[in-house]
Structure 1
Amino acid sequence: MKPISVPLGIVKNPSLHQWLTFEKSGLITLHSGKVELGQGVEIALQQIACDALGIDPDQLEFEGGNTLQGPDEGHTAGSQSIDQGGHSVRMACLFARQIFMLAAADALCVAPEAIELERGIFSSSGSDKTCSYWSLLHRLDVRQSIGASSLMPSRRWVGQSISRPDFVQKLSGTGFIHDVSVPGMLHARMIRGSVGESVIDFVDVQAMACLPGVQHVVHSRDFLAVVGPDEAELVKATEKARSFVRFALKKSLTMASDMEALLLSLAGESSTVHQQGVRRDASVLHEARYSRPYIAHASIGPSCALAKWTHGQMEVWSHTQGVFPLRSDLAKAFDLSLDAVQVIHLHGSGCYGHNGADDVAFDAAFVSFKLGVPIRMQWSREDEMTASPLGAPSLVNIRAGVDSAGRICDWNLSLWSHSHLTRPGGAGVNLLGAWQVDGGSEKPVPADLPLPAGGGHRNAVALYDFAHQQVDYFFIPDATLRTSALRSLGSYVNLFAMESFMDEMAEKLSVDALDFRLQHLSDPRAVAVLERLAKVCGWRQQGEADGLHGLGLGFGRYKNVAGYCAVAALIRVEEIITVEKIWAVVDVGLVVNPDGLINQIEGGIIQSLSWTLKEQVNWDASGITSRTWAEYPIIAFSEIPEVEVHVIDRPECPSLGSGEVAAGPVPAAVGNALYRAIGIRARHLPLTPERLTQFILNSA
């Protein structure tokens, strides 16, 4: 008999009451440690719960991310909300249904197998009586530990495209944390230098306090905030206040001509993180290098938080990805017990990893702690671009050879990068403001996630069947700018490099790029997404290059354990690269909400296109210079291509993570399409008009 797989969420949170409460008649509240970041997880988890409980969506309320009531599931990250969070929800709800069904059988004096369930009402054809989840509560201990259930969920709601419940609030201006106010609150704004970790060289606090709109100035070593009752007046005052402070860099910023030169100039720690197979003699060798720059989160709405310090208790509202990890770091920063800190999740304006949400939560909490009043702290656009963690730059070198049969027999990938994971919840305190205040915390020593998940080396191990494969990681702890998790982590650049290299090898061997990939794949699901992609994008029907248009493809399986995604890009090359159409084929196993999945893939494609064509953080000796949309443009609505997503639904298979599967295949598809269009191989991102011109000049 196959052993029962108990998800980590249940192991860490074994009590039923942590997941489900029945306090309102006719309603069940589902508590989850996974939070809504715009990815549609809230409705998907509700669909899973409804099928397991035998109720309808209008009978279920969702509360995600509240440290006072709910399971600790760490961070909502890594495309794990459905395959792990959903697994936990399903197990908890099936167990609840089973114990309530047994109680119903006892109450109705019938055998358990005679019980029927509809909309939370238990009945039996052998009795004219009924009972419900709510009427049976007195018979059960809902604090008991969750165990295995012999029941199977129905498939009434899972697989349906049910609309998200948060749309109405967001469209009406009440759905975001930015829209929330609490009684008696004051507004606050931070004043920081051109990088988040700047130090204050001089400040005239009295002059700031005299500015119109400023009621308080909170200053503690390198932490500086202005506070007032009117947000608009405070924004004006903040700009004027900058003339009364002078910042200095905590350390000089390393300068270099490009990412390759920058990363190779820094000290790192080298290790072989993967080695498999035996090298064979190679007849054709090829080697190439690829890179990506620092990338900002660049959410359209800046980070925001609310905090209230009263009677020794800290209450914080945040759009963090992890309420429990944030609570842990706040408790350490303020020297409080965990019970003295409550963190409640509210929706932000899009979250793609470790952005400024946690830092602004500390900022709000510290000001409230100092003043004893509720505080609403919102960062400015400049704060967001200079103070929040960035996606780390990476350099990837691939060297490979093929045997006499044209198969890759020796594959060597080396990469250089910084930490992709400096979130709260680990050792020390990972909150910017906590490093800046008097008597504050020391900045923890950066580390990175090990494989199989990986940080900078996520997806650095190829899914392809190579006779020999080796991956070496040069981890560079000391980054020029602060880095942490950004959507897909190292997967974006590693798949860009890998999939570009596969095209280059196919070109050397005069083999079709799709056929070359299929030749090296034994995973039938990987083969299926590529073959479906070839069909929908007309890969086999494309004609000769016309010097203007190009069709390219990219493929990957996120983390080599999550969802599969193959992407084709049709581009037009003139002074700029215009992406005319994107096709994507995905396989994520059982699809909980098809519309939600397609939204996720579309969003991932658009963001990855923006990274690929436009985004790059710039700095000089004085600090970060890309502080506004003018210096850090993102893709415009007018530049978004037609996107066509095809889903291979496998209801017999477990659900796989989908939120980050498109990130890596997109730049590869665009880069490969560029080569097909004009014969220029682009290996360094982003593919801006200036860089495109440089590629052309270098190839002349």
Structure 2
Amino acid sequence: MSDRSPFSLTRRGLLAGGGALVVTVSLARPLPAQTGGGGGARPSKPAPGSLAQTPRLDAWVRIGTDGAITVFTGKAELGQGIRTALLQVAAEELRVPPAAITLVTADTARTPNEGYTAGSQSMQNSGTAIRAAAAQARTLLAEEAARRFGAPADALGFADRRVTAPDGRSLGYGELAASLDLTVDVPPDAPLTAADRLSVMGRPLPRVDIPAKVTGGAAYAQDLRLEGMLHARVVRPPSPAARLTALDAAGVEAMPGVAAVLRDGNFLAVVADKEYRAVKAMRALAAAARWEETATLPGDTPLPDLLRGLEREVGTVDAKGEAGAIEDGPRSLRARFTRPYQLHGSIGPSCGVAVMGEDGLTVWSHTQGVYPDRKAIAEMLRLPVERVRVIHTEGSGCYGHNGADDAAADAALIASKLPGRPVRVQWMREQEHAGEPYGPAMMIEAAASLDGNGRIDRWTFDVWSNTHTTRPGGAGALLAARHLAEPFPAEPAAMQITPAGNGDRNAIPLYAIPNTRVLWHFLPDMPLRVSALRSLGAYANVFALESMMDDLALLAGADPVEFRLRHLEDPRARRVVELAAERFGWTGTASAPGFGHGFAFARYKNHAAYLALAVELSVDRGSGRVRMTRATAAIDSGEIVNPDGIRNQTEGGIIQAMSWTLFERVAYDDTRVTSVDWASYPILRFASVPDRIDVHIVERPGDPFLGTGEAAQGPTAAAIGNAIRAATGRRLRDLPFTPDRVRESTATG
């Protein structure tokens, strides 16, 4: 990976593009929104996707005079296959094979600022922008070729990066591009390829990120090696409130290969010439450090009591009709559900690499937001933001705000003290488990009643939750910045109720219910550090909501699938529910004693992908072990770019949510997090993977992209809970469904 060494590149050289048509580019939106090269009124149609913030064509697509095509995205490859899908989108509109395109992903020196890669929005935002930009670039090529050929633009053909006239004459993209100005805005109505003429989109394409991963190649930030690189390890405070009171580092400084021992307040690190020497020195430095610890963690406080005690504000997420307090009665239900703090559980602990060069600081990170991370690192180091460059490099394990930004900050801080030498910081497993931001604990109290026709007439849903995002941003989001002698405090959390949702994500039922009230009981204080974990609050909220739907179906004497359809008016929602039930062979009853079938549905964020899921599982009453044997999902993600990618993401989402639902829970006492390895924080192993997962995709040619990556989390938890209920007759409402909890529940049933 020496081609990424900063020593052979400069910002000016990077922006020049080495012979590309465009040698300077502004990624910021100009004040007057323009189409083409001239002025004029703003277009009446809104710019699609990320074009609204970055309308310039050359920010997305560039064509060199040699015909080389480069496409840029501010989104990052996290393992979701976005590189492959974006290549397909661009290739479709440029009429070239995907392999003919070089794709540059999130890099603050080269790509648009698209914020975070989060919320299943990469295709909605970046995919839509790239498709429109590529379509406009093709249009400009065609217009220039038509001018030269004296032929109608719609009579021209495209192949092998050449435009061909009806009489056989042809011109290469590079020849045409030399006469074009691509420093123009992409019009909102750029002419996209019609759905019935697609040849690249909608077809499976092997993921371009997979070969290196399965062959042991250089695939991750953890694999990055730069010439002259030093290895660093950080000695973390043993608990959140620990304070370093004494340190005798002389013995560590004398160890072989040690280049430096760095201390700034509670930030403590060692740098060595080789990685294992850094590990040995870290352990010696930890033994030489003395910390004063303060008990700040919840200890054995029951989760409901903890969350109620942290409530400081209540916000109304939704209110419709007359949904006051629901009285207990024969046609009403009331239940409480909890979700514990949970880890990202990244298989590869976080890693960051940085070098302080003459032009400034360059950082390689698997952050999900290179621009926000750059801002936070610059603030921490008190550098002008333009002197910091952050390049996304894929990490081994992600989907949310794990330790990536913190490892990048560690590397940046250490590299700033050792200018000219690349510094690699690799976290240890116990540091990742104890130091990363967790998915927040949550509690939901739901109540509902049925009318005389077996339909839900009243619904209340109360959510207790922290914020689900403390990403950078500000320097206070970074552990290293918090630990300095002059620390940057964490920004105070604020409740924000938006259509996309946060802790309240998917708390509003998509079902037709005349009287509803949804409240978010906001917890600004965080006894454990928390932030975004895949799907945010949707995982717990859909689990609670869909568990209630099953119990209400039972109360109404209805089949769970039919009961959902009874309350669904959206035809696309009905379609995935019907398709999943049909392909699963839903009958409402399991095939044998000890087995249970469960069903669940959600539209992610209530405006993204639709997903319905049916599962079959067995419950061993003696051991409490739950074994899912098969799962059938139906998903509607809008227009399909890569069907294999949609299946991959849905299958992976089901498996990850299975792990959360059956195994995962952060453990702590009153001072320290104690689940610091895979023994104390178990995750799903291969033996527990279902025998079969089938994913059926609803085709929606021409429809907007809806995103896929987070659609399965909530429905998986609910479907598992509903299947356990069917198998045992007992409803489990506290996640995870560990063997002990299942055994205790069935023993009292």
Q: TM-score, normalised by structure 1?
A: 0.96
Q: Which of 147, 152, 157 is matched with 2:187 structurally? A: 147
Cα contact 1:116–1:123 (8 A) shared by 2: yes
Query: Which residue number corresponds to residue 199 of structure 1?
Result: 243
| Most deviating of 443-452 and 493-502 | 443-452
**1:654 partner amino acid:** P
Which of 19, 27, 43 aligns to 2:68? It is: 27
For residues 344-388 of structure 1, give each alpha carbon's deviation from its aligned partner in whole angstroms, at most 9, with x where no partner exists: 111111211011111110000000001222101110111110111
Which residue of the partner structure matches residue 307 of structure 2? 263
Secondary structure of the residue aligned to 2:555 is helix
C-alpha separation in 1, matches of 2:590 and 2:414: 63
Confirm whether residue 597 of structure 1 aligns to residue 643 of structure 2.
no
Q: CA deviation at 1:57?
A: 1.2
**Gap change, CA 1:234 and 1:562, over 3 Å in 2:** same
Deviation at 1:577, TM superposition (A): 0.9
Confirm whether residue 178 of structure 1 aligns to residue 227 of structure 2: no
Q: Cα offset for 1:24?
A: 7.0
Distance 1:251 1:442, change over 3 A: farther
Shift of 1:593: 0.3
Output the amino acid matched with 2:603.
Answer: R
1:150 Cα deviation after fit = 4.9
Contact 1:299-1:350 at 8 Å conserved across structures: yes
The question of 1:617 aligning with 2:657 is answered no
| Corresponding residue SS for 2:276 | helix
Alignment of 1:483-494 (within 5 A): 483-494=530-541
Amino acid aligned to 1:639: S
Instruction: For 1:607, give the aligned amino acid.
Output: Q
The reply to whether residue 664 of structure 1 matches residue 714 of structure 2 is yes
The 3-state SS of whatever aligns with 2:290 is strand
Per mean C-alpha deviation after superposition, the further-off stretch among 139-148 and 326-335 is 139-148
Q: Distance in 2 between matches of 1:196 and 1:143?
A: 50
Q: CA deviation at 1:211?
A: 3.5
1:170-213 Cα shifts (integer Å, max 9, x gaps): 22321111111111110011111334564323322223323344
Q: Is the 8 A contact 1:197 1:387 kept in 2?
A: no
Q: Share of identical aligned residues, percent?
A: 39
The answer to whether the 8 A contact 1:421-1:448 is kept is no
SS state at 1:615 partner: coil
The verdict on how the C-alpha distance between 1:473 and 1:488 changes in structure 2, with shifts beyond 3 A counting, is same
Report the more deviating stretch, 635-644 or 247-256: 247-256
Give the equivalent residue in structure 2 for 1:446.
493
Amino acid at match of 1:242: A
Cα displacement (A) at 1:455? 0.8
**Are residue 496 (structure 1) and residue 537 (structure 2) matched?**
no
CA distance in 1, matches of 2:670, 2:140: 65
What's the CA shift for 1:68?
Answer: 0.7
Q: 2:656 aligns with which of 607, 619, 629?
A: 607
Tell me, yes or no, if the aligned pair for 1:421 and 1:447 is still in contact at 8 Å. Answer: no
Give 1:693's aligned residue. 743
SS at match of 1:581: strand
2:725 alignment partner, one of 675, 679, 697: 675
The match for 1:540 among 587, 605, 614 is 587
Following the alignment from structure 1 to structure 2, what is the Cα–Cα distance between the partners of residues 24 and 439? 51
1:328 corresponds to which residue? Answer: 375
Instruction: Encode CA deviations 1:550-573: one digit per residue, 9 max, x unaligned.
Output: 111111110001111111121111
Residue identity matched to 2:680: E
Shift of the alpha carbon at 1:54?
Answer: 1.4
- Separation in 1 of the partners of 2:396 and 2:451? 51
Q: Do structure 1's residue 79 and structure 2's residue 123 form an aligned pair? A: no
Instruction: Choose from 168, 172, 176 the match for 1:132.
Output: 172
Looking at structure 2, the residues matched to 682 and 24 of structure 1 have their Cα atoms a distance apart, in angstroms, of: 64
Q: How far did 1:89 drift?
A: 0.7
Displacement, 1:390?
A: 0.5
Q: Which amino acid aligns with 1:174?
A: A
Query: What is the CA–CA distance in structure 2 between the aligned matches of 1:250 and 1:64, rounded to whole Å?
Result: 43
Shift in CA distance, 143/197, structure 1 to aligned 2, threshold 3 Å: farther
- Secondary structure at the residue paired with 1:501? helix
Maintained 8 Å contact 1:429/1:441: yes
1:304 aligns with 2:354: no
Q: Tell me whether 579-588 or 2-11 shows the greater mean CA deviation.
A: 2-11
- Higher mean C-alpha deviation, range 511-520 or range 608-617: 511-520
1:350–1:666 distance in 2 versus 1, CA, 3 Å:
same
CA distance in 2, matches of 1:80, 1:529: 21
Given that 1:453 and 1:559 are in contact with CA atoms closer than 8 Å, whether structure 2 keeps it comes out as yes
1:233 Cα deviation from its structure 2 partner = 2.2
Greater shift, 583-592 or 33-42, is seen at 583-592
Shift of 1:543: 5.2
Please give the secondary structure, in 2, of the residue aligned with 1:411: strand
Q: Which residue of 1 aligns with 2:705?
A: 655
Give the distance between the partners of 1:289 and 1:24, measured in 2 at CA. 64
The equivalent position to 2:632 in structure 1, one of 583, 588, 606, is 583
Residue in structure 1 matched with residue 450 of structure 2 by the alignment: 402
CA distance in 1, matches of 2:291, 2:450: 55
- In structure 2, the partner of 1:351 is 398
Normalised by the length of structure 2, the TM-score is: 0.90
Deviations 1:266-307 (A, max 9, x none): 232112121122349987211000010000011100111110
- Does the aligned pair in 2 maintain the 1:213–1:237 contact within 8 Å? no
Structure 1 525/3 Cα, relative in aligned 2: closer, same or farther at 3 Å? farther
The correspondence for 1:158, drawn from 173, 195, 201, is 201
What does residue 218 of structure 1 align with?
Answer: 262
Are 1:401 and 1:408, in contact at CA under 8 Å, matched by a contact in 2?
A: yes
How much has 1:609 moved relative to structure 2? 0.2
Give the aligned residue type for 1:183.
E
**Aligned residue among 565, 576, 582 for 1:518:** 565
Tell me how far apart the structure 1 counterparts of residues 190 and 178 of structure 2 sit (CA, whole Å): 23
CA contact (8 A) 2:45 2:189 kept: no
The alpha-carbon deviation at position 144 of structure 1 amounts to 2.1
2:132–2:192 contact (8 Å) kept in structure 1: no
Equivalence for 1:232: 276
For 1:250 and 1:313, how far apart are their aligned partners in 2? 39
Segments of 4+ moved more than 6 angstroms: 280-283
- Given that residues 449 and 457 in structure 2 are in contact (C-alpha distance below 8 angstroms), is that contact kept between their aligned partners in structure 1? yes
CA distance in 1 between partners of 2:656 and 2:436 (Å)? 18
Instruction: Answer whether contact 2:440 2:468 (CA < 8 A) is retained.
Output: yes
Aligned pairs for 1:233-248 within 5 A: 233-248=277-292
Question: Do 2:46 and 2:188's aligned partners in 1 also have CA atoms closer than 8 Å?
Answer: no
Q: Describe the superposition over 1:34-86 as per-residue Cα deviations: whole angstroms up to 9, x where unpaired.
A: 11100000010110101111111121111101111111111110000112211
Contact between 2:64 and 2:177, CA under 8 Å: does it hold in 1? no
- 2:605 & 2:209 partners in 1: Cα distance? 30
Amino acid at match of 1:561: H
Letter in 1 for 2:609: G
Letter of the 2:442 partner, please give it: S
User: What's the CA shift string for 1:231-261, capped at 9, x where partnerless?
Assistant: 1222223223221113344661123443212
Per-residue CA distance 1:108-132 (angstroms, 9 max, x = gap): 2323233222232112114x43222
Separation (CA, whole Å) in 2 of partners of 1:517 and 1:11:
37
Counterpart residue type for residue 169 of structure 2: K
1:121 aligned to 2:171? no
Name the Cα RMSD after superposition.
1.9
Distance 1:187 1:197, change over 3 A: farther
Unaligned runs of 5+ in 1: none
Q: Does 1:572 align with 2:615?
A: no
- Structure 1 residue 149 displacement after superposition: 4.7
Does the 8 A contact of 1:415 with 1:473 survive in 2?
yes
Match of 2:14 in 1: none
In the alignment, is the contact (CA less than 8 A) between 2:667 and 2:674 conserved in 1?
A: yes
- Contact 1:197 / 1:432 at 8 angstroms: preserved in 2? no
Post-superposition Cα deviations, 1:389-418, rounded to whole Å, max 9, x if no partner, equal 100000000011111111111100001011
